[in-house]
Chain A
């Protein structure tokens, strides 16, 4: 992790008590229900959780992809010190998207318009957001492609001429051409085979390493992948964050029962060498994530939690800092 230069204060992202709901005929889906996230240094944060926990909604909200029935109900989004909620959609489009924040969508493989050559697309996007000439744009693109080990020939091709993994990497390159401070990657490796996954992860880490982006939010259900690249991990459940910490701490010693279940159930081979495997077997994840229209009372995990106590049914646990930069939201760790 790179440390800050002395005196340099960065607030890349600041989101407090953020709520985003879907207002549908079947009911109000509280997909993101009170989430706090602050990024003030160079870091890669992985947000993990099962499908339906609200992480994709969070990705959409953070990249301003919000349209009905999704609505931001509460909470400001502040990026690089700019309060985004006050801006009009058009301003966001012109000044923020691709410039301060960039999104790698879940459908990245199919996100490039098939009837347009890559270089034409780049030209159209950059002409929108900058005053560069066509030549400058082309030079920038070539330079960036070379830096990221992407073939320059791809610039003259149509998206369907490239393989899936290549398309994903090209998309990452295009999205970050203007060096946005924050990159949000929503399940970037889910549809890929292992070797392509590796290439995509390398590309992501490459742009981070070179300082082309300041921080990345990597959203995935696949902890094994997240842990390869993230510095910190946040576990999300039923619209809320339940635990935060550095990758090492989270993998080796998860605190929240849900985190334990998640991490141990997937990373068992590694843990077999450690004695904690005995404790791991206790926490087998049973059941399904709850409905977000009518979430359970109190702690949302209590119906599935083997350690559930009476208070868990009644009251929501606060997020407390058990150690430096180590947060968990669980009554087990609240000292009375």
Chain B
């Protein structure tokens, strides 16, 4: 007779979600592998072209270089061998070599550009979360008054404007018509990134507009959702008692209301941060900001599939991880959710 094992429902939930994550990752890896490889055409062409610029001109040398590259990238091998090779390299952390940026490795490239993307996205998204939510709470407390209506309208319009569209307008206004800020790039051309005051200042100047476009466009979404959560919370017994029964000050009430309403927003933040790597692509393109998104775009244009692969893997991994963490967070913070999830689904 089998003994009944009593598993902590939280652990059971965590394991179940982990399994789904692994499954999704496998499917994703497979797709990531196979799809770029189904691209017709010669991805090496652009590299070889670049190399010819560099000095290799004789046809024999070209052919030899081509053969060498083909070997490196194993393009002649049957697909399943390539896949095995892909997975085994992946486990060792080797994401391959970029074709476009040959001979740089994909991992190196990502390590080079990813920090800039994170430096842009994480502060912008987090600050937007905090301020947007705060305004949402204040709006909820002043429900239906003039302030609230104004805030609601502004936020509703804002949340419909994608960051890159906002970026375009910001450039037009503040970089072209009123040339306060530069029109793009991460830093002035010719400057090399280093830890000097000069560089940091120049970088910040280039940083402001892309930062603003992400910050402002996310503000609306957070504000609106937080406001509706806070409005519901205001109707709760404890908020009513705190405000009217005990008579706590406005400032403290906002504080309490924020804490009570923040839970779903925290989960949302985790998810948005997970998407931030993928979501920065278009903004970086518009601003010419040297991050992962920019590189990704160039990789697509040049059909540099190891690089495309590598970036996809990073993007998907970040997404899945953030998603998983947010699921765990939610279940951990709300004990009721743990029990519910194990049963349903």
In the complex, A touching B (Cβ < 8 A): yes
> In the bound complex, do residue A113 and residue B245 qualify as a contact, i.e. CB atoms below 8 Å apart?
no
Among B85-93, B235-243, B300-308, B309-317, the stretch in contact with A: B235-243
Q: Could you say which residues of chain B place their CB within 8 Å of the CB of A268?
A: none
Kindly identify which residue among B241, B249, B259 contacts A111, using a CB–CB cutoff of 8 Å.
Answer: B241
* CB-CB contacts below 8 Å: A92-135 with B: 92-94, 97-98, 103, 105, 107, 110-116, 124-125, 128-129
Q: Could you say which residues of chain A place their CB within 8 Å of the CB of B147?
A: none
Main secondary structure of the interface of B (DSSP, over half): helix
Q: Could you say which residues of chain A place their CB within 8 Å of the CB of B239?
A: 113
> In the bound complex, do residue B241 and residue A97 qualify as a contact, i.e. CB atoms below 8 Å apart?
no
Q: Could you say which residues of chain B place their CB within 8 Å of the CB of A145?
A: none
Q: A113-B256, A113-B260, A115-B256 are in contact. Are A128 and B241 (CB under 8 A)?
A: no
In the bound assembly, the distance between CA atoms of A65 and B245 in angstroms comes to 7
Answer whether residue A264 sits at the interface, using C-beta atoms and an 8 A cutoff.
Answer: no
Name the residue on A nearest B333 (C-beta): A115
Answer whether residue A63 sits at the interface, using C-beta atoms and an 8 A cutoff.
Answer: yes
Answer whether residue B194 sits at the interface, using C-beta atoms and an 8 A cutoff.
Answer: no
* CB-CB contacts below 8 Å: B239-273 with A: 239-242, 244-249, 252, 256, 259-260
In the bound assembly, the distance between CA atoms of A128 and B245 in angstroms comes to 14
B241 to chain A, nearest CB (A): 4
Answer whether residue A64 sits at the interface, using C-beta atoms and an 8 A cutoff.
Answer: yes
**Chain A: how many interface residues by the 8 Å CB criterion?**
24
Q: Could you say which residues of chain B place their CB within 8 Å of the CB of A112?
A: 238, 241
> In the bound complex, do residue B247 and residue A94 qualify as a contact, i.e. CB atoms below 8 Å apart?
yes
Q: A110-B236, A110-B237, A114-B260 are in contact. Are A93 and B247 (CB under 8 A)?
A: yes
> In the bound complex, do residue A111 and residue B237 qualify as a contact, i.e. CB atoms below 8 Å apart?
yes
Name the residue on B nearest A124 (C-beta): B252
Kindly identify which residue among B240, B246, B256 contacts A97, using a CB–CB cutoff of 8 Å.
Answer: B246
> In the bound complex, do residue B237 and residue A92 qualify as a contact, i.e. CB atoms below 8 Å apart?
no
B177 to chain A, nearest CB (A): 47
* CB-CB contacts below 8 Å: A286-328 with B: none
In the bound assembly, the distance between CA atoms of A172 and B44 in angstroms comes to 78
Kindly identify which residue among B241, B245, B247, B252 contacts A92, using a CB–CB cutoff of 8 Å.
Answer: B247
A278 to chain B, nearest CB (A): 45
In the bound assembly, the distance between CA atoms of A277 and B240 in angstroms comes to 44
Q: Could you say which residues of chain A place their CB within 8 Å of the CB of B242?
A: 111, 113
Q: A65-B245, A97-B246 are in contact. Are A128 and B259 (CB under 8 A)?
A: no
In the bound assembly, the distance between CA atoms of A107 and B238 in angstroms comes to 8
In the bound assembly, the distance between CA atoms of A64 and B241 in angstroms comes to 11
Pull 6 A–B residue pairs with CB atoms less than 8 Å apart, ordered by A: A63-B245, A64-B244, A97-B245, A98-B247, A105-B240, A111-B245
Binding site for B on A (CB under 8 A): 63-65, 67, 92-94, 97-98, 103, 105, 107, 110-116, 124-125, 128-129, 175
